[in-house]
Structure 1
Amino acid sequence: MAAKLGIVAGGGDLPFRLIEACRAAGRPFFVLALDGHADDGVCAGVPHARVRLGAAGQALDALRDAGVTEIVLAGRVRRPSLAELRPDWRATRLFAKLGMRALGDDGLLRAVTAELEREGFRIVGAQDVFAALLTPPGPVGGLTPDAEAERDIARGVEVARMLGALDVGQAVVVQQGIVLGVEAVEGTDALIERCGPLRRGGAGGVLVKIRKPTQDLRFDLPTVGPATVEAVARAGLAGVAVEAGATLMLDREAVAAVADRLGVFVVGLEIA
């Protein structure tokens, strides 16, 4: 039998998809929902516990008591201030190990993962639980980028690589070669909304989202879903380009259907 999986749930659809995958495979699982981040419905009808983000000791005890041996980190987690976090002694010990370094999301997640592994858990990626989540190469849906969009995609990949190398973000919006915005702490949805009013006249623009150069593939992979496509359409952009094989796509059939209905292309990029 597969090891019991602990789904550490933040916001969004990804935790729900992993719960569905575990149920379909008959795999035992336990949900650790992060208060203030996980959606309310994620605990409905499943074995679970709720903890606040700074309660590391309570979280570890809940996972051990549930018999969890493997953990997947799933869903959006807004980085809190230290006052909001109210760390317990286990979390305080972790922060003391990190020192006063300014860590980006990737660095912080790497440190948290290392601590979980020291506690005896094995960390796995969402794609290890549900391989069909990974975006395939090529178009998703019936539309493809035109020549101008292809140039914007190339520019977006170039900028996103530089952005990721600094551990800042994964996404950028480009129109007619002009960078309308880059992702930082606000996340992709807020980036798209912010860039809508900045659109120039003429052809649409592209959201490009790729993994960071030093990304640990077990966590925080770029993620898109039907809501991403809807946001892109509302902003007046022409399409979405993501890295094939390294981007999680939630409900691929729905993404294709929404994209075709709204006239937005979605494409998986093969990036060397």
Structure 2
Amino acid sequence: MSLALIAGQGDVPRMIAEHHKDAGNAPFIIVLKGFESDWVRGFDHEVCGIAEIGKVLSTLRAKGCDTVSFIGNVKRPDFSSLKPDLKGVSLLPKIISAARRGDDALLNSIVAIFESEGFKVIGAHELLDGLTQPAGVLNSVAVSDSEKADIQEAYRIAGAIGELDIGQGAVVCGGLVLAVEAQEGTDEMLRRIARLPVEIRGTEDERKGVLLKRPKPMQDKRVDMPTIGPSTVLKAAEAGLKVIAAVEHAALWVEVEKLKSLADADGLSLVSLRGNGDWP
């Protein structure tokens, strides 16, 4: 396998790149213009515009890459402002059409382009052990029966918005849906929760409520897997939540030992549900 990472922002691209470099198999990095990070300077890389598809493909072939992984956060672009190359011009109408149906359709169309060009596409979780977690309570903070009920309701709601290709996360407190995730992302959703009246949410002194993230029901798990990182725990704590939950081997728990330490310190439970949403 000759690996290339098509990298957005966040810690996961760096972690995977450094892991493979330490193992003697440093990946080539395609850095998307506008999403550059300092760590890529230590790797062979090329900066490409998000619509420079021809440049990306030709560069990957020139570097001998046969496997690619799309990793990191990339905000949905303003398609009218993109500057495609010739290959991008031919493919952009198809991509824009898919984007109108939602993020899942957009990502699937991009994966299909690379597969049709002969590249194998793999997920971040296949490149670094420990990014996903088995079913269980991951840290030392216990979960009450009422919180388990909120988890199940949040699982149902997140599945419903996923069916509509809206988002991957939901927040439920005392049976009340406080928020669902859309284009703003998890961190902004949690900031909204922190601004809600304390009568309907938890506080840092009396934690209540659940954040649950799960893949969309028809999602290709090789791209855009739900991610829970240190900022998720910190913002959930600021919002007064008690539980952060995901599904076994269907979420990226970034720096999981750090997550456990942060959650224990703030009194949050970290839970990985069974694949069908059942309590572990």
Smaller-chain TM-score bracket = over 0.9
Paired with 1:82 and 1:96, the residues of 2 have a C-alpha distance of 10
- Kindly indicate whether residue 129 of structure 2 is the aligned counterpart of residue 131 of structure 1: yes
Alignment of 1:101-120 (within 5 A): 102-120=100-118
Identity %: 35
Report if aligned partners of 1:175, 1:199 keep a CA contact under 8 Å in 2.
no
Paired with 1:93 and 1:188, the residues of 2 have a C-alpha distance of 34
Residue 212 (structure 2) aligned to one of 189, 208, 211: 208
Residue identity in the other structure for 1:9: A
Alignment of 1:74-223 (within 5 A): 74-98=71-95, 100=97, 102-201=100-199, 203-223=207-227
Paired with 1:199 and 1:218, the residues of 2 have a C-alpha distance of 38
TM-score by length of 1: 0.94
Deviation of 1:99 (Å): 6.7
SS at structure 1 position matched to 2:270: strand
Residue identity in the other structure for 1:65: A
Report if aligned partners of 2:18, 2:26 keep a CA contact under 8 Å in 1.
no
**Paired residues, number:** 269
Paired with 2:51 and 2:131, the residues of 1 have a C-alpha distance of 29
Paired with 2:169 and 2:22, the residues of 1 have a C-alpha distance of 32
Residue identity in the other structure for 2:245: A
Alignment CA distance shift 1:250-1:99 (3 Å): closer
**Per-residue Cα deviation, 1:176-227 (whole angstroms, up to 9, x for no partner):** 1111111111111111111211254255211110011111121111111112
- Kindly indicate whether residue 68 of structure 2 is the aligned counterpart of residue 68 of structure 1: no
Match of 2:43 in 1: 46
**Per-residue Cα deviation, 1:65-122 (whole angstroms, up to 9, x for no partner):** 2211100000011001112322222222223335745221111111101100111111
**Per-residue Cα deviation, 1:219-240 (whole angstroms, up to 9, x for no partner):** 1111111121011011111120
Paired with 1:21 and 1:229, the residues of 2 have a C-alpha distance of 24
Paired with 2:82 and 2:39, the residues of 1 have a C-alpha distance of 22
Alignment CA distance shift 1:221-1:67 (3 Å): same
- Kindly indicate whether residue 260 of structure 2 is the aligned counterpart of residue 262 of structure 1: no
Report if aligned partners of 1:33, 1:51 keep a CA contact under 8 Å in 2.
yes
Paired with 2:96 and 2:19, the residues of 1 have a C-alpha distance of 38
Name segments (4+ residues, structure 1) moved above 4 Å: none
Residue identity in the other structure for 2:42: G
Report if aligned partners of 1:140, 1:255 keep a CA contact under 8 Å in 2.
no
Alignment CA distance shift 1:19-1:189 (3 Å): same
Residue identity in the other structure for 1:242: A
Residue identity in the other structure for 2:25: R
TM-score by length of 2: 0.91
Paired with 2:97 and 2:215, the residues of 1 have a C-alpha distance of 26
Paired with 1:199 and 1:19, the residues of 2 have a C-alpha distance of 43
